[in-house]
């Protein structure tokens, strides 16, 4: 080991599934591994996406040598446009060919066309300041998935990305076990390993096993088949296409991200359609039900996804009906279970047959199980281990797996977002915490991580809003016309008329008290009205709607 301190700072992906982002820093220079996002939970009302708080990078933009993306899934790539918009310079972005094609598509949507994107082949090496970058081919549920090896004078940091040791992958390209073992022989200083399935024993099933099971399910379906999967799971999409072709069914793609990713996959040779097999969604109704397979987005119950809209009879082209079979070829990401269950229930209400991975082996995880995590640990033999990509339970279990294969528990660091691990010739320890957390995307704009707006939205969704317009005399401050009361979403229909009249009287009493006290400033009047009305409404309804007073002087 040589001099210097190597800092590894996770800004996302620890204590959660999603928004993966890791900053590796040495001699004042930075390489960022992944720029992921996650989707909002049900209590994040009106929020479209959740990004890691990358304020640390905004302040250090000049020090960034490059950004490396392990693969094309949203939780590793999706925040890239927002990161690039916020930095005052565009560092180069590196990744596999498909990953960079997906990155280009995302950046184009945001009209960011000057970001340098560089395809890297596994095994290729690149000097980035004090770092030597190498990608190692891994297997996952999307092609071109790679682990990232960053070598410095101090040693090598290996960030696995998402991986499994699938010996029979659909594309015939298993993980580069020999290179991982060679890195282990050369010496890996720190392993940042995927923890997603640390709680599942044994080995994960092969992706290749899913295709025959899908065909079996398709063969039993009497009518149309709607398959929902991750739009980026290109191997799965190909297996659905193959199963449909063997049974003489046409295939239609529904959902913008599904069409976009399939087009990218076709252009790079990862997806092939038999001649004449693909039909546009508007032609689905022209074919007999038993001749149709629809591949749709919405496997996670996303509110605006194609399947969710179908389930609510709100899709422009696909109308579900009794006799359709809906196949969920995915499992819910932790936190999405409620949204998925709601979608499934709506489908049953329509009369659809619904098949999930609990009913048939129609999904294989792209993340390795416990034995595969132990295999990775034994292959690379790291000096230190920092489990990543998992909630606190899975990170703890991954640490226990490291202990089981002989790694000293004191060399396993179960960290959290914003807590840097600092390594030098004397050992490894945690440094001072850095700013981390969440940034919310509402539409296309990003907002402050503060939850004031979310608090207001929760209040509105639960108890509604009162708007009170009071007109007062500029000289005396007394009410000159009856106050106007407007309410929305407040659950008190039975006593509405009498309560509105009581609120008017309360407004006039509050204004009279303020006038007697000599209060004339508009903002002070509005504050007093707010406090008096909030207490009055709670006393009557035992609810706390938002109270918005407006005072006009005449």
Q: Which residues are catalytic?
A: 194, 367
What tokens does 502 get? 């009581």
Phi-psi region of 528 (alpha: psi -120 to 50; beta: other; left: phi over 0): alpha
What tokens does 291 get? 């001749």
- Would the CA dihedral through 427, 186, 140, 65 be positive or negative? positive
What residue has token string 């990953």?
A: 99
Assess contact for 537 and 543: CB atoms under 8 A: yes
Assess contact for 514 and 470: CB atoms under 8 A: no
- The helix/strand/coil state of 447 is strand
CA 370, CA 203: separation in Å to the nearest integer?
7
CA 98, CA 452: separation in Å to the nearest integer?
39
- The helix/strand/coil state of 272 is coil
294, 317, 297, 316: which is closest to 307 by C-alpha? 297
CA 309, CA 87: separation in Å to the nearest integer?
36
Q: What is the DSSP letter of 262?
A: H
48, 58, 137: which is closest to 99 by C-alpha? 137
457-476 residues labelled b (16+ CB within 10 A) or e (exposed): bebbeebbbbebebbbeeee
CA 17, CA 197: separation in Å to the nearest integer?
11
Looking at the DSSP assignment, which residues form a beta bridge with residue 292?
A: 250
Phi-psi region of 155 (alpha: psi -120 to 50; beta: other; left: phi over 0): left
Q: What is the DSSP letter of 412?
A: B
Task: Measure the CA dihedral 306/311/317/323, to 10°.
Answer: 120
Assess contact for 227 and 421: CB atoms under 8 A: no
456: CB partners within 8 A, 6+ apart? 546
Q: How far is CA 153 from CA 127, 128, 180, 469, in A?
A: 13, 13, 19, 69
Assess contact for 366 and 142: CB atoms under 8 A: yes
Q: Where are the alpha helices (DSSP H) in 351-385?
A: 370-380
CA 311, CA 291: separation in Å to the nearest integer?
21
Looking at the DSSP assignment, which residues form a beta bridge with residue 335?
A: none
CA 265, CA 79: separation in Å to the nearest integer?
21
Strand duo 384-388 + 421-424: pairing: unpaired
């Amino acid at each position: 080991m040589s001099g210097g301190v190597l800092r590894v700072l996770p800004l996302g992906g620890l204590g959660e599934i999603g928004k993966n982002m890791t900053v590796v820093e040495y001699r004042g220079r930075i390489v960022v591994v992944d720029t992921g996002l996650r989707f909002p939970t049900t209590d994040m009302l009106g929020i479209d996406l959740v990004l890691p708080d990358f304020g640390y990078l905004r302040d250090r933009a000049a020090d960034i040598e490059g950004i490396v993306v392990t693969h094309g899934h949203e939780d590793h790539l999706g925040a890239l446009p927002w990161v690039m918009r916020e930095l005052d310079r565009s560092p180069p972005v590196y990744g596999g060919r498909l990953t960079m094609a997906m990155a280009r598509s995302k950046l184009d949507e945001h009209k960011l066309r000057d970001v340098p994107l560089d395809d890297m082949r596994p095994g290729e090496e690149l000097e980035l300041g004090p770092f030597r970058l190498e990608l190692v081919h891994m297997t996952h549920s999307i092609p071109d998935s790679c682990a990232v090896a960053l070598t410095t004078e101090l040693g090598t940091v290996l960030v696995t990305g998402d991986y499994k040791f699938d010996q029979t992958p659909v594309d015939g390209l298993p993980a580069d076990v020999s290179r991982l073992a060679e890195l282990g022989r050369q010496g890996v200083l720190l392993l940042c390993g995927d923890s997603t399935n640390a709680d599942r024993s044994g080995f994960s099933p092969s992706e290749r096993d899913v295709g025959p099971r899908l065909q079996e399910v398709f063969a039993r379906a009497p009518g149309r088949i709607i398959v929902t999967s991750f739009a980026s799971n290109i191997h799965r999409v190909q297996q659905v296409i193959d199963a449909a072709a063997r049974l003489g069914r046409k295939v239609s793609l529904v959902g913008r991200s599904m069409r976009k990713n399939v087009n990218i996959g076709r252009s790079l040779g990862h997806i092939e359609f038999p001649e004449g097999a693909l039909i546009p969604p508007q032609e689905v109704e022209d074919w007999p039900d038993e001749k149709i397979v629809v591949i749709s987005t919405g496997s996670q119950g996303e509110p605006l996804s194609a399947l969710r809209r179908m389930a609510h009879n709100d899709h422009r082209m696909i109308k579900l009906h009794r006799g359709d079979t809906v196949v969920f070829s995915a499992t819910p990401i932790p936190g999405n279970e409620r949204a998925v269950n709601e979608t499934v229930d709506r489908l049953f209400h329509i009369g659809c047959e619904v098949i999930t991975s609990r009913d048939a082996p129609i999904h294989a995880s792209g993340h390795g199980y416990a034995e595969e995590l132990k295999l990775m640990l034994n292959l690379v033999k790291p000096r230190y281990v920092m489990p990543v990509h998992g909630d606190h339970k899975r990170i703890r279990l991954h640490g226990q797996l490291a202990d089981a294969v002989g790694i000293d528990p004191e060399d396993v660091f179960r960290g959290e977002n914003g807590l840097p691990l600092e390594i030098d010739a004397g050992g490894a320890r945690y440094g001072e915490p850095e700013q981390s957390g969440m940034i919310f995307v509402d539409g296309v704009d990003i907002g402050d991580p503060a939850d004031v707006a979310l608090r207001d939205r929760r209040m509105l969704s639960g108890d509604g809003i009162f708007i009170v317009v009071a007109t007062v005399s500029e000289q005396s401050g007394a009410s000159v016309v009856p106050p106007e009361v407007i309410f929305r979403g407040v659950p008190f229909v039975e006593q509405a008329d009498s309560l509105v009249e009581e609120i008017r009287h309360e407004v006039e009493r509050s204004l009279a008290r303020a006038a007697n006290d000599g209060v004339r400033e508009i903002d002070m009047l509005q504050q007093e009205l707010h406090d008096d009305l909030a207490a009055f409404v709670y006393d009557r309804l035992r609810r706390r709607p938002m109270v918005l007073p407006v005072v006009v002087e005449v």
